[in-house]
Chain A
Amino acid sequence: MILGFVEHESGVPEETSLEMLTMARELATDEEAVLCAVVFGDEGAALKDELGPYGIEEIHHVTHDRLEGYAPEGWGESVAQLVSDLGASTVAAAGTDRGHEVLAHAGATLDAPMATNCVDVTGAGESYEVRRDRWGGSLVEHARLEGETKLVTAAEHEYPIEEAASTTEPTVNEFTPSLEDAHLRVRVERVETADEEGIPLGEARVVVGGGRGVGGPEDYDKLEELADLLGGTVGASRAAINEGWRPHDDQIGLTGAQISPDIYIACGISGAVQHMVGCKGADKILAINTDSEAAIVQKADYAVIGDLHEVVPELTDAIREVT
Chain B
Amino acid sequence: MNVLACIKRVPNTGAKIVLTDDNQRIDTSNLGFTMSPHEECAVEEAIQQVETHGGSTHVLTLGPEEATEQLRTGLAMRADEATLLETDGEEWGPRETASAIATAIRDLPEDDAEFDLLLFGNESADMANYQVGVRVATELDLPCVTGIKSLEVEDGVATAKREIGGGEEVYEIDLPAVVSVKEGINEPRYASMRAKMQARRQEVGRLEPDRTEAPGTFEKTRLEAPEADDSDAMVLGEGTDAVPEIVELLESEIEVL
Contacts and interface: CB of A to CB of B under 8 A. Distances in A.
Interface string B147-177: 1000000000000011110111111111001
Contacts, number: 246
Interface stretch (B51-59, B104-112, B138-146): B138-146
Contacts of B219: 143-144, 146
A32 B98 CA distance: 34
Given A139-B17, A191-B164, A203-B184, A303 B234 contact: yes
Contacts of B201: none
A134 interface: yes
Interface string A276-289: 00000101111100
Given A182-B141, A319-B247, A111 B126 contact: no
B167 A72 contact: no
12 contacts: A97-B147, A100-B146, A135-B126, A139-B225, A142-B220, A144-B217, A144-B218, A186-B171, A189-B172, A192-B170, A302-B235, A315-B247
Contacts of A133: 128
B17 A319 contact: no
Interface in B199-230: 214-226, 228
A131 B224 CA distance: 10
Contacts of B244: 318
Interface residues of A, number: 87
B217 A191 contact: no
A138 interface: yes
A109 interface: yes
Contact of B134 (A104, A136, A149, A283): A104
Given A105-B138, A139-B225, 8 more contacts: A101-B134, A139-B223, A143-B221, A189-B171, A194-B168, A283-B254, A292-B235, A304-B237
A253 interface: no
A284 B242 CA distance: 17
A314 B246 CA distance: 11
Interface in B25-84: 26
B129 A185 contact: no
Nearest to A114: B131
A206 B256 contact: yes
B240 A314 contact: yes
Interface stretch (A48-56, A239-247, A305-313): A305-313
B256 A263 contact: yes
Contacts of A300: 233
Contact of B216 (A105, A112, A117, A263): A112
Given A73-B143, A284-B253, A117 B217 contact: no
Contacts of B232: 297-298, 303
A107 B93 CA distance: 13
A302 B166 CA distance: 26
B236 interface: yes
A307 B243 CA distance: 12
A318 B243 CA distance: 7
Interface of A: 70, 72-73, 76, 97, 100-101, 103-105, 107-109, 111-117, 131, 133-136, 138-150, 153, 182, 185-194, 200, 202-203, 205-206, 230-232, 260, 262-263, 281, 283-287, 292, 297-307, 310-311, 314-315, 318-319, 322-323
Contacts of A263: 250, 254, 256
B216 A108 contact: no
Nearest to A231: B256
Nearest to A193: B167
A113 B144 contact: no
Contacts of B168: 191-194
B187 interface: yes
Contacts of A104: 130-131, 134-135, 146
Which interface residue of B162, B184, B222 has the most chain A CB atoms within 10 A?
Answer: B162
B13 A138 contact: yes
B197 interface: no
B239 A189 contact: no
B104 to A, nearest CB: 17
Contacts of B161: 192
B215 A230 contact: no
A260 B183 contact: yes
A140 B3 CA distance: 35
Contacts of B215: 111-112, 147-148
Contacts of B224: 131, 139-142
Nearest to B182: A97
A189 B98 CA distance: 28
Contact of A70 (B169, B220, B226, B240): B169
Nearest to A194: B167
A304 B145 contact: no
B170 A101 contact: no
A135 B184 contact: no
